[in-house]
Structure 1
């Protein structure tokens, strides 16, 4: 059993290191995708911002209210469309600001409270690459060590009933 557990510890350590090295790359790709979506939403709002600047002192919310208050159904629906674009932009702006606060908030944003469609997009298009910068190496080693320790504790807990019966 001793040789098996030794190999299992090594396998868990290696698996943890390899998985841990991927996590910073995922967070980096999530941040870049979040930024790209924000830039795209900026472009989508540009024309409406110009219109809001021209007629409402730059207040896009007044522009939206004006569209939605119109008697014309086409303008009302246009106001709803502008509102949806504007709300998406605000969501992406908040998410990117949270992401850029510090390293911990970037990981939290990517895994705990992500923009769901962006996280799904990154997950489906994620390219498993080994980016060996100091942060990724440290993260990988910590993940490997934690996984090896958890595996060791799990093995000891499973082996405990057998050890007692062998000594009796």
Structure 2
């Protein structure tokens, strides 16, 4: 009886862990989108200047600023270049999040932007989403978690017992 309750507890823990994954991915995606929109807004004025004088080529604007003798323009060139690099990183991050559920999940769990990941984890509040994705993740993680932990405990018990099986006592019935 105790073993059945332990199985239920393991399954429930796995379920609760699994339903967090879609919420975490959703929060991370929203943060990337917010940073991307902010980045685009920060570049808007420079893009207008580049459109007006350099046919829309922001790199030409940066080169022009760098070639200037004015230290203010040279400093602005570094700022624009930094904004461009950040925008390109956010665009590529956003594109990675637009793919299928498996590659999006792998990306968020294995290759997220470290700063945005930290920001997401600090602001993340545990939630239970009632979506098909969350249910699938929850059930999948629950089964895997319960199976792995129970198998590990059985293996430990087998090692402690020296590989012997407990003898079955004959029933009086």
TM-score in terms of structure 1 length = 0.93
Change (3 A) 1:165 1:12: closer
Partner of 2:164: 164
Please report how far the alpha carbon of residue 50 of structure 1 lies from its aligned counterpart in structure 2 after TM superposition: 0.3
Give the number of equivalent residue pairs: 165
Shift of 1:166: 5.7
Distance 1:166 1:6 in 2: 19
Q: Report the Cα distance in structure 1 between the residues aligned to 2:91 and 2:6, rounded to whole angstroms.
A: 45
Which residue is 2:170 aligned to? Answer: none
Secondary structure, in 3 states, of the residue corresponding to 2:90? helix
Once the 2 structures are TM-superposed, how far is the Cα of residue 145 of structure 1 from its aligned partner? 0.3
Would you say the 8 A contact 1:52–1:59 is kept in 2? yes
Distance 1:103 1:85, change over 3 A: same
Conservation of the 8 A alpha-carbon contact between 1:38 and 1:92? yes
Correspondence for 1:143 among 141, 160, 168: 141
Q: Indicate the structure (1 or 2) with the bigger Cα radius of gyration.
A: 2
Provide the rounded CA distance (Å) in 2 between the counterparts of 1:165 and 1:136.
40
| Runs of at least 5 residues in structure 1 that lack an aligned partner in the other structure | none
Query: Per the alignment, in what secondary structure is the counterpart of residue 149 of structure 1?
Result: helix
The equivalent of 1:33 in structure 2 is 31
Residues 5, 155 of structure 1: 8 Å contact kept: no
Does 152-161 or 81-90 show the bigger shift?
A: 152-161
Q: Which region of structure 1 is more displaced relative to structure 2, 147-156 or 7-16?
A: 7-16
Unaligned runs of 5+ in 2: 168-173
Contact 1:20 1:140 in 2 (8 A): yes
Structure 2 partner of 1:118? 116
Q: Distance in 2 between matches of 1:85 and 1:22?
A: 33
Runs of 4+ in 1 over 6 A off after TM superposition: none
Cα distance in 1 between the residues matched to 2:165 and 2:30:
56
What corresponds to 1:51 in structure 2? 49
